[in-house]
Amino acid sequence: MNNSVLKIIWNSIAIVGLVLIGIWIYRILADNGGVTITSGKPVLEAIKHVNKQIFVEHYNAVDVMYTEIPQGWLSFLGSVGVKQEIVVLVRGRVPAGFDLQKMREDDVWVSSDGKRAQITLPSPEVFEDNVVIDFENSRILSQSDRCPGFICQNTLVAYQNEVLPEGRKLLIDFAIRNNILEQTAKDGRDYYEQFLKSFGFEEVRVIVSGYGL
Residues 125/97, Cβ–Cβ less than 8 Å: yes
- The pTM of this model reads 0.76
The number of beta carbons lying within 10 Å of the beta carbon of residue 95 is: 23
d(CA 49, CA 121): 14
What pLDDT score was predicted for residue 35?
47
For each successive 10 residues of the chain (213 residues), what is the average pLDDT? 53 53 51 54 82 91 83 58 81 97 93 91 96 95 74 76 94 98 96 90 94 72
What pLDDT score was predicted for residue 74?
65
What pLDDT score was predicted for residue 86?
86
What pLDDT score was predicted for residue 168?
97
d(CA 96, CA 177): 13
Among candidate residues 176, 1, 147, the one with its CA nearest the CA of residue 83? 147
